[in-house]
Structure 1
């Protein structure tokens, strides 16, 4: 049997069509993906060279298979890991295999619900300070505001000590600079020689090293302090590996903190921005959130108890993340040959799952492009959760899910309680980078 007959792939996009669309795909792949899915069905393939294939899918069975059921055969792509690890090191986001599992088991307890409950007072007061500074009664680009809020919540949750505050702005600047350059490297691989020759790679590696040094200083200050502080850094310093009883090395701790900064602030800022846009277009949904908050606050002042009762607010956030998933796509490569549904695929096939398209696939969702928070209430919620991936799925599901939900519920409830939100855009624009980034989303806030 010839090698070609041994394997079979989904409907194939011609390499000529792919090359013709390449520039448009680089700017925004989503409209092109939509067109290809409509032509080929829920999965399509591109052949690179004689035997290498890439698959893109919006099929829930494929998502479940590679992320959950047979996840051991599917690692993150080398392409993703190599680019990210150059600047981020070997944290949870970029590592794989046994090392990743060892780190996940070590860090997971710091994100247990009981631990998160200890952080909510600090989180809530940080959010209150940010919301008190909102510009009122004029249209503003809301993403930078939410980005600043989310960054400060992560920074204060990681490092509660006020002596670190003067370093936060520099960390934020470096993260944004390095991330913007990283996007250029990923989107324009043919310019790698120029980025290297012109000194841009060297410049950004130097910035990444400066970031490492700032975080190292904060850690060293903490280790020499006798003060009892209840933050994520303290929780991570107290963790111990099961087999040796040792703590993380300083270098590994730095890598994990960088991941928490990046994964914990931009995805949340994206989700909050899209949610505010949707609320601004749907005043009746704002009113329902307000009614829920007033009802909850008539029974309790305890923040954790309030969060546990925010059923409708949570449904609104879920529906927002269904329409605009912050982490809009994921990829995997299979270590061995495998059967993927009806397809037989060769090892090292690159498989992308578009959560953006899966979340809007009419096979799973009725009126998929409409904003209907009730999808995530009562009996409907059980059905919806089967096809819902805002934080990924399986063992590699985002470790900070609980943290993010707390932060977003507190932010939305505080804003709705204080302001009437109005959207100034008829439609929303976004840029699908590593995350789904909102573009020029204009919102106004007026006092209730």
Structure 2
């Protein structure tokens, strides 16, 4: 086996500090696969985008959930996160009517109203915790569009509780000593309390729907109505609650992290901001000559934010059988790790990979044979809410930048935090009216 595909079992080669990005880039440079110890677990780290696509698409039936990182994400063991492939596909189909492109377009007016209401409460010159506010906005949008028929006060309370849960989840460490400390009862108190408070109110909403047959509750009603061929309900109220918590948090923690990075980038690059604002004006005016899709500067901007700051920055799968991945034989039970952060910054696919350049997307044609760009994943387990996420990002970006120009807090230094999502460690910004 040549050095390019080395899977050496040399113990001295495997003891590597995990997720120090620059060090990982250097260690994996020129290697498609390398054996490492991650969080005390033996794993194979995959850097080759063609092999990652094989894991996620062509050979996906041979890979299940890995042992790493599940402690931070596995909110539900039923429905869409079930180990059973048929169950997973079934619950994707149940969610699809609420997330398909045509339906998402109908949410736009409500999305805009929600963003305007929240950002209008900001005060000029007073520093804003951007991540906290992006959590509030994303959670209000998700609750307000996916769950119907709630009294306004309940909708507001549910979105505020979801916002607290989302923020606790975003900053939860995934690995190493930090994760071990965060898992201790005292340290985990904030997350446990936020989850308990949200689930209690959500359970009340579900109970109200059960007590009022015929009441439309959107996604919750669909889960409650799911039945087998004999008409028996498939999920208990508790399981409906678990599934809804999973869906709602997944739809918010990623958006909040991406939007935080987007606003950070804009505050530090006046030229990018100027072009984005010009594009937004043309889009709002309905100009017949306005570009759509990747030709739109707004879309290119968001694609570049997601390239450099993918919220789901690392993933793990486990082989379900003895297989070959490239030139490497992997026995059943092997943990296989890949990082969208590293894939998105591969110099073989992206010139000057660490530079923020939305115009690179004018000449890049995403390959269908590799996974060089996977902010939403790919294959049968890819993010079902991708269309919802793109629209939500566009609307939030548009409404925030219409009303406010955001400046970095003086003397602030923003660091990258690779935790449950890839987010800024601390992001305070000062709004001034346009």
User: Aligned match of 1:285 in 260, 269, 272?
Assistant: 272
CA contact (8 A) 1:330 1:353 kept: yes
Aligned partner of residue 380 in structure 1, secondary structure = coil
Could you tell me which residue of structure 1 aligns to residue 334 of structure 2? 349
Is 1:35 matched with 2:20?
A: no
Contact map agreement 1:338 1:347 (CA 8 A) in 2: yes
Q: Is the 8 A contact 1:332 1:351 kept in 2?
A: yes
Summarize deviations over 1:303-362 as a string: whole Å, max 9, x none.
xx9997992211101100100101101111110111111211111111111100110010
Q: CA deviation at 1:135?
A: 3.6
Mapped pair 1:217 → 2:204: yes
Give the aligned partner of residue 427 of structure 2: 441
Which residue does the alignment assign to 1:10? Answer: 6
Gaps of 5+ in 1: none
* 1:365 aligned onto 2:350: yes
What is the match of residue 294 of structure 1? 281
Q: TM-score, normalised by structure 1?
A: 0.81
Determine whether 1:154 maps to 2:142.
yes
Aligned match of 1:255: 242
Which residue matches 2:117?
Answer: 129
Q: Distance in 1 between matches of 2:73 and 2:200?
A: 19
Tell me: CA distance 1:427–1:200, structure 2 relative to 1, closer, same or farther (3 Å): closer
**By how many angstroms is 1:276 displaced?**
0.9
Aligned to 2:297: 312
* Equivalent position SS for 1:351: strand
Matched-pair contact (CA < 8 Å) for 2:37–2:43: yes
Q: What secondary structure, in the 3-state scheme, does the structure 1 residue paired with 2:399 have? A: helix
Q: Matches of 1:184 and 1:435 in 2, distance apart?
A: 9
Aligned pair in 2 of structure 1 residues 79, 256: CA closer, same or farther (>3 Å)? same
Task: Return closer, same or farther for 1:257/1:71 CA change in 2, 3 Å cut-off.
Answer: same
Inter-CA distance 74–244: structure 2 relative to 1 (3 Å threshold): farther
How many residue pairs get matched?
A: 424
Counterpart secondary structure, 1:56: strand
**TM-score, with normalisation over the residues of structure 2?**
0.83
Backbone CA RMSD of aligned residues:
3.8
**2:95 alignment counterpart:** 107
In structure 1, distance between residues paired with 2:224 and 2:406: 41
Q: Select 1:72's aligned residue among 58, 61, 65.
A: 61
Q: CA deviation at 1:432?
A: 0.7
Per the TM alignment, residue 383 of structure 1 is displaced from its structure 2 partner at its CA by: 5.6
- Counterpart contact for 1:14–1:46, Cα < 8 Å: no
In the aligned structure 2, how far is the partner of 1:415 from the partner of 1:268? 14
* CA–CA distance in structure 2, aligned partners of residues 209 and 190 of structure 1: 21
Q: Whose helix fraction is larger, Structure 1's or Structure 2's? A: 1
Structure 1 residue 365 displacement after superposition = 0.7
